[in-house]
Amino acid sequence: MIKLLCMICFMVYCFVLGNDAAVQIAISVGGSIEGFADLMNNKAKSLQLSNTNYVTPHGLDADGHYTTAYELALLTDYALNIPKFLEIVSTKTYTITINGYPKTINNTNELLGNLKGINGVKTGFTNMAGRCLVTSCIRDDFNIICVVLGADTKNIRTTDSVKLIEYCFKNYKQIDLNKLTEEYFEQWKKINLKRISINKGDSSYCKLKLEKIEIPFYPVRIDKINNINFNITTVDTLEAPVKEGLIIGNLEIKLDDKILFNINLLTSNAVNKKGIITYLTQFIENYTLYLEHI
């Protein structure tokens, strides 16, 4: 619960809270501003944000308080999986009650409700960072996160964000790597499966399967889609007994010369060591065939 409060607080403070409220929440949750910064930095470390360090809960300029555009995107990707966070950053207006009177507050994200697919996330400004905007946009199940930092004006940050978003959707397509990989694997098995022999096994061959791809849907430039290649390498021989789930090779997915993923190739069934009964049965079968052909 503390991690959830921590994430929501330091990501959403400017949407519905003032900086003083962010400080008070930090003290309540972390015991002090420094204690809360420790919580944030521990979370950043767990997310492998190696170029991020937090000093304040509100994000105002401070020595040692920094991050990068890329790591803001990684953090946003994580935070959007928190339902309450997603609900807040995708809300355009909200009515609160102050001293018994209703007051409507508006989201400062100028793209929300004005550009197709926008569902967040966060505006920002400090003297050192300039005008900033982190945007999430989803169209046809293709979700992108755009980060613009250091803009001189709101208009520039908005214009640059729109250009980046439209460029991505125009030039990139989300590819179903699971589907492409399975299609390749099935074709490969028809040709190569029986080339992997098992010595002294009660079966000469075993069934194979692939591990799941870590990122099954992957964005690829439209003009590069046909440059996706697959290559499988395996052992030639196994010695019985063979356990189910044994790694015997890997499938490499490449885009041009870049390796996207290496996926383990596993046995999907166990093969026992051949016993005396199996030897006798096979001898009788072979001898019977021999007699039939004399």
Closest CA to 248 of 256, 257, 239: 239
**162 domain residue, yes or no:** no
Q: Extract the tokens encoding 6.
A: 């921590």
Q: List residues bridging with 152 in a β-sheet.
A: none
Q: Which domain holds residue 135?
A: 2-152
CB-neighbour burial class of residue 254 (10 A; exposed 0-12, middle 13-18, buried 19+)? middle
Residues in contact with 28: Cβ distance below 8 Å, sequence separation at least 6, in sequence order: none
**169 domain residue, yes or no:** no
pLDDT value, residue 281: 66
Tell me the three state secondary structure of residue 195: helix
Same domain, 92 and 224: no
pLDDT value, residue 21: 85
Residue 27's alpha-carbon distances to 20, 35, 143, 294, in angstroms, are: 11, 8, 35, 93
Other Cβ atoms closer than 10 A to 269: 14
Amino acid letter at 81? N
Distance, C-alpha 11 to centroid of its chain: 20
> 145: domain CATH number?
3.40.710.10
Same domain, 211 and 265: yes
Same domain, 70 and 110: yes
Cα–Cα distance between 140 and 169 in angstroms, integer?
Answer: 10
Q: List residues bridging with 71 in a β-sheet.
A: none
Q: Extract the tokens encoding 116.
A: 């197709």
Q: ∠162-217-110 over CA atoms, to 5°?
A: 20
Same domain, 25 and 96: yes
Tens-digit pLDDT string for the chain (294 aa): 444 444 444 444 444 456 888 899 999 999 999 999 999 999 999 999 999 999 999 889 999 999 999 999 999 999 999 999 999 999 999 999 989 999 999 999 999 999 999 999 999 999 999 999 999 999 999 999 999 999 999 999 999 999 999 999 999 999 999 999 999 999 999 999 888 988 888 888 889 999 999 889 999 999 999 999 999 999 999 988 999 999 999 999 999 999 999 999 999 999 988 766 665 666 666 667 666 676
**190 domain residue, yes or no:** yes
**80 domain residue, yes or no:** yes
Q: Extract the tokens encoding 168.
A: 């991505």
Same domain, 21 and 130: yes
Q: Extract the tokens encoding 48.
A: 């492998």
pLDDT value, residue 202: 83
Q: List residues bridging with 115 in a β-sheet.
A: none
Same domain, 64 and 125: yes
Cα–Cα distance between 191 and 183 in angstroms, integer?
Answer: 13
Distance, C-alpha 159 to centroid of its chain: 27
**286 domain residue, yes or no:** no
- Sign for the CA dihedral angle at 69, 72, 77, 80 comes to negative
Total of domains in the chain: 2
Residues in contact with 236: Cβ distance below 8 Å, sequence separation at least 6, in sequence order: 195, 196, 197
Distance, C-alpha 154 to centroid of its chain: 30
Same domain, 145 and 190: no
